[in-house]
Amino acid sequence: MTKPSSAQGAKPKDPASRGVTGPALNARGTRLNRRGLETRARMIRTAVEMLAGGGHGGEASANLVAKRAGVTWGTVQHQFGDVDGLWAAVLEELGSQGDMLPWKELDDGSVAERMSRIVDAIWSGLDSPAGRAVATLRGLLPRDTAELTETYPRTAEQLDLWDRRWRRAYARAFRGLVVDAYRLERVRHLLPAAVHGLYLEQRLSTWTDIEDARAVLAESIAGYLEAPH
């Protein structure tokens, strides 16, 4: 995986060259014309398709994305600055689509009913192109948070935004219920990993009844949240 360096272009004046929250800018902070916008969209779309498919030969890099999109590395530099800018733009675009957390009306019903819907929502997110793309990208990035933040600061910023969206959606899901805050917070850390584990198990040769496993997961967590102290 290509890592950012000074040779790959300077950091943009406007972080992530945002096109979702405002006019799309190139790496130097200049507004893109129509052709530039089309090129940017094609590169981001290509990156998402590659990542959602598990990468190219188990890998995905800015160079491979550029080649598949039919552009040069200089275009990557012009549009995003470096690979960090590209991944950050991909995450921002996916976040704007809302596919990772397709939340329904969760704040209604018992703890068990809400937990079942949350498990279903996380599962649906993991099973979407956006979810698969993010999972692949996270697997390509440094595992150590400090290293990630230092090497891919803008990508790390976007991942932090995804985590904040998850925190807000999770908190909203339990509005109106009296649930122990400490247990609720512990469950928030468990849920994504637990559902992701079942999702990966489904893709292997397995004798596990995944539907039953998902139901038991939701019921067990609900029981933990409702159990007396």
Calculate mean pLDDT across residues 166-175: 88
Calculate mean pLDDT across residues 85-98: 89
Domain definitions of the chain by residue range: 6-97, 111-226
Scan for tokens 């890592």, then name that residue. 3
Residue 23 has pLDDT above 60, yes or no: yes
- Window from 14-23, 79-88, 193-202 with minimum mean pLDDT: 14-23
What integer pLDDT is reported at residue 63 of this predicted model? 87
- Window from 25-29, 69-73, 142-146 with minimum mean pLDDT: 25-29
Give per-residue pLDDT as tens, 179-206: 999 999 999 999 999 999 999 998 887 8
The one-letter code for the residue type at 79 is: Q
What integer pLDDT is reported at residue 54 of this predicted model? 76
pTM for the predicted model, two decimal places? 0.80
The three-state (H, E, C) secondary structure of the chain, written as one string: CCCCCHHHCCCCCCHHHCCCCCCCECCCCCECCHHHHHHHHHHHHHHHHHHHCCCECCECCHHHHHHHHCCCHHHHHHHHCCHHHHHHHHHHHHHHHCCCCCCCCCCCCCHHHHHHHHHHHHHHHHCCHHHHHHHHHHHHCCCCHHHHHHHCHHHHHHHHHHHHHHHHHHHHHCCCCCCCHHHHHHHHHHHHHHHHHHHHHHCCCCCCCHHHHHHHHHHHHHHHHHCCC
The one-letter code for the residue type at 153 is: P
Give per-residue pLDDT as tens, 38-62: 999 999 999 999 999 875 544 568 8
Calculate mean pLDDT across residues 202-226: 93
